[in-house]
Amino acid sequence: MHKGVILLVKAEDRDDALDKVNDFMEPYGEGDVWDWFSIGNRWHNTLAPKDKVETFTKKVNELYPQTKGSYATNDIENETVRPIIQAEWEKLGLRGKNPFWSSYGFDVKDSEEDYNVVPLSDCIDTVKDWVRDVEKVAEEEFAELVKAREETKEKKAKGEKVWDMSAYHASRYKDAIYNNFCFDSNVFDVTEEAGEKLPEDIKGYWAIMIDMHN
């Protein structure tokens, strides 16, 4: 299963940001949060200028309606179609490969030409859109926890075999309450170790788009 998360980190430059993110991610490996992760990948170029991406996506959807709501399609991977869509991307002054270049971005390797590691000031509106409402998440998970526990009690009373899901929802509730870094995270400030919030001063901050798998 894939999950996109935007990591925020205060750094000197792009390479420094990547080094700090790799150091941060390392303890969460081996299935604790991810079993592998990559820069960009399925969320390749999500951090490109928001207004231009919206214009580009609208144009692509008009040209190829089957792309609406999808990452890419086999038609988009067709060598005849790819240059047409890439040209629309470049007309807007955008760099690197467009987000529809390939299904899930697996054959698009991150480079400095792409928008996977960018200054936070350049993608602040997109990052704001990604921030989760953790209070709402916590309330929803708590309700599911109570519901699951009651269902378990009822089934046990009837002698039915049951898998108690309340512990699962309790874990998700805990992560939301404490803003822990977890597989559900959308935005996480590595420097301040704070989930789902933007730093008060974004100067010197970088945003890194991560594709986590678990």
Round to whole Å and give the CA distance between 147 and 165: 9
pLDDT tens figures, 52-82 = 999 999 999 999 887 776 655 566 777 888 8
* 202, 121 Cβ separation under 8 angstroms: yes
Q: What percent of the chain has pLDDT over 70?
A: 93
Please compute Rg for the chain using Cα positions.
20
Q: Give me the pLDDT at residue 87, please.
A: 96
Phi first, then psi: what are they for 99, rounded to 5°? -65, -20
- The SS3 assignment for 20 reads helix
- Of 20, 23, 14, 42, nearest to 211 by C-alpha is 42
Average pLDDT over residues 18-39: 95
- Give Cβ neighbours of residue 113 (< 8 Å, ≥ 6 apart): 95, 96
Q: CA-CA-CA-CA torsion for 9, 14, 19, 25, nearest 10 degrees?
A: 50
Specify the DSSP element, H or E, that contains 186. none
pLDDT tens figures, 78-98 = 788 889 999 999 999 999 888
Average pLDDT over residues 102-112: 68
Residue 156 pLDDT > 80: yes
- The SS3 assignment for 62 reads helix
Residue 183 pLDDT > 70: yes
Domain boundaries, the chain: 48-114
Lowest mean pLDDT segment, chosen from 13-17, 145-149, 157-161 = 157-161
- The SS3 assignment for 31 reads coil
Residue identified by tokens 């960009």 is 40
- Give Cβ neighbours of residue 184 (< 8 Å, ≥ 6 apart): 3, 132, 137, 172, 175, 176
Q: Any long-range contacts for 143-146 (C-beta under 8 Å, 24+ apart)?
A: 144/169, 145/169, 145/170, 145/173
- What average pLDDT does the chain have? 91
Task: Determine how β-strand 187-189 pairs with β-strand 194-195.
Answer: antiparallel
